[in-house]
Amino acid sequence: MLKTVKSIRDIIQQKFLVVPVLVLLTGAMWLMIMVGACTSEETVDPENKTPTPLAWRKPANFPDPVYDLNKNPLTVEGVELGKFLFYDGLLSRTNVIGCGTCHQQQSAFTHHGHELSHGVDDQLGKRNTPSIQNMAWNPLFFWDGGVRDMDFVPFNPIENPVEMGETVNHVLEKLRLTPDKSAKIPVDYPKMFKAAFGTPEITTERMMKAISQFMTTMVSAESRYDKFAIGDVTALSAQEKEGLILFRKNCSSCHEGELFTNYSFRNNGLAPLKYEDLGRFDVTRRESDRNLFKVPSLRNVSFTAPYMHDGRYKTLGEVLEHYTDKVVSSPTLDPAFIQSGGKTGLNLTDDEKESIIAFLRTLSDDNFIKNNAFSDPGIGNAF
């Protein structure tokens, strides 16, 4: 660069000595050329549009999100790329299993009918697929809280040998080699990365941020409960309101606030199965964390059966029955389930349980499970 400037100066100096007027002209010409050279990449080439910012609004009754959107501002192109990556089987070793294979929209992005989900080569995972919704409020991810930044979430399923069985490195290589003309829809990822981030470079950071952008848009806040919460007292029936009161009294110390979880880790007294899952202990290796699991949100809970970290209960009735009759004592059992007389579980009549279930169904958000913005663009595989 500096060398070029010197030669320009030489040229100008020569002219200066001969015809002063020419100096000005030449200088002005150079100026124009250089200004042009400087900006042409951004403005002249029609392929080089800057990504379109996407407005993101926090639902009125929600707290502030945890995810820092300033570090990853949403754009139309970024979210679109994230959606393709979310559904694309390329993220797995067998090129078949995408995120959307186990996180299916009609089940609020869980795997309906599967206690545990099947990954590559039909291998079974050890935990029930958690819902993907309202991710931007999540301070810790997965049943054991092993991840604390949304940008790091896809790493786990991709590199888990029984889920997608891939390496992030290899996924990046495969994405760089697209479009693959033999694919069902030959997606041109370098082009999509360019649209989303300005250049076609495909990196870990960009891939993860695009998926985070898509997941950030996956907000569920349009249930009947939400209408009630923002002031429409007619949105809930008398039984549902009764259920809400009982819920707040018995359940909301963990399923707290508008997200229906306080993101804490608890042992809710599930009877041990043949294979012990240590839960939070896997991450912290603290004895007090043995068999603790993250409190899940209850939004869309009527769509997300089966329930619990191991998917052992198929209906909400079974879940409520667990809390009244089946809570098993153990050294880490949450104190919320130990009554003053030493009995475990909650005291609820059958009518009360029914009211609570009626209330829980008001957390269903039909728009969330039908919104085309979150749907498979035609590249995914759902089993």
Binding site for other proteins (CB under 8 A): 1, 4-5, 8-9, 12, 16, 20, 23-24, 27-28, 30-31, 34-35, 37-38, 68, 71, 140, 145-149, 151-152, 155-156, 159, 167-170, 172, 203-205, 208-209, 283-286, 289
3-state class (DSSP) for residue 238: helix
Q: Give 4-54 as a DSSP string.
A: HHHHHHHHHHHHHHH-HHHHHHHHHHHHHHHHHHHHHHHHT-TT-PPPPB-
Using the minimum distance from each CB to other proteins, give the nearer residue, 23 or 162: 23
Which residues, other chains included, contact 95 with Cβ-Cβ below 8 Å and sequence gap of 6+? Answer: 89, 174
Using the minimum distance from each CB to other proteins, give the nearer residue, 169 or 339: 169
Is 254 annotated to bind a ligand? Reply is: yes
Using the minimum distance from each CB to other proteins, give the nearer residue, 165 or 296: 165
The distance of closest approach from Cβ of residue 190 to other proteins in the complex, given in angstroms and rounded to an integer, is 18
Using the minimum distance from each CB to other proteins, give the nearer residue, 72 or 134: 72
The distance of closest approach from Cβ of residue 278 to other proteins in the complex, given in angstroms and rounded to an integer, is 13
The distance of closest approach from Cβ of residue 228 to other proteins in the complex, given in angstroms and rounded to an integer, is 34
Other CB atoms within 10 Å distance of the CB of residue 312: 16
Q: What is the DSSP letter of 169?
A: H
Using the minimum distance from each CB to other proteins, give the nearer residue, 21 or 55: 21
Is 102 annotated to bind a ligand? Reply is: yes
The distance of closest approach from Cβ of residue 200 to other proteins in the complex, given in angstroms and rounded to an integer, is 17
Is 255 annotated to bind a ligand? Reply is: yes
Is 103 annotated to bind a ligand? Reply is: yes
Bridge partners (DSSP) of residue 293 are 266
The distance of closest approach from Cβ of residue 12 to other proteins in the complex, given in angstroms and rounded to an integer, is 7
**Element spanning 216, H or E:** helix 204-217
Bridge partners (DSSP) of residue 338 are 344
Using the minimum distance from each CB to other proteins, give the nearer residue, 56 or 152: 152
Alpha-carbon distance of 233 to 87, in angstroms, equals 39
Alpha-carbon distance of 114 to 293, in angstroms, equals 19
The distance of closest approach from Cβ of residue 286 to other proteins in the complex, given in angstroms and rounded to an integer, is 6
Alpha-carbon distance of 120 to 163, in angstroms, equals 6
For residues 339-364, one letter each, b for 16 or more C-beta atoms within 10 angstroms of the residue's C-beta and e for the rest, the string is: eeeeebbbebeeebbbbbbbbbbbbb
Is 251 annotated to bind a ligand? Reply is: yes
- Residues contributing to the annotated binding site for heme c: 99, 102-103, 251, 254-255
- Residues contributing to the annotated binding site: 99, 102-103, 251, 254-255
